[in-house]
Amino acid sequence: MQEFIRIEFRIFANLRDILGFKVIFIDILKGSSIREFLNVIRDKYPNGPEFLRNVIDLEKKDVLPYVKILIDGRILMGDNILETKIMRDNSVVAIFPPVGGG
């Protein structure tokens, strides 16, 4: 039997502007990868493809080097970030684009 979990998705800066929200709650299959989760966002929202282009290098099929993805406050690092599984109900997934300033 497939088990669904609810996650809180937070996005910041220009990514927020692309999708038009800063926090939403989404139900996904327990054990979905970050890649599968991002594909849900891509397919569910009109600006989803643009959002994905600002998070993933589509040629290399990896997270852009300056984008940070966190699960429950823990920054995902290393190889295969997109294959990281989301296992806990009520997890918080956050995506931070590059931040500039001066």
Check residue 58 and give its pLDDT: 84
**pTM of structure:** 0.91
How many degrees, rounded to 5, is the angle at CA 59 between CA 14 and CA 82?
65
Q: Which residues pair with 96 in a beta bridge?
A: 68
| Assigned domain for 12 exists | yes
101 within domain boundaries: no
Domain with residue 57: its CATH number is 3.10.20.30
CB 97 within 8 A of CB 12: yes
pLDDT at 79: 84
Does residue 63 fall inside a structural domain? yes
Q: Classify residue 86: in a domain, yes or no.
A: yes
Q: How many domains does the chain have?
A: 1
For residue 102, is it within any domain?
no
Q: Note whether residue 64 is domain-resident.
A: yes
Range of the domain at 17: 4-96
Q: For the chain of 102 residues, list the mean pLDDT of each consecutive stretch of 10.
A: 95 94 96 96 96 92 93 93 96 88 54
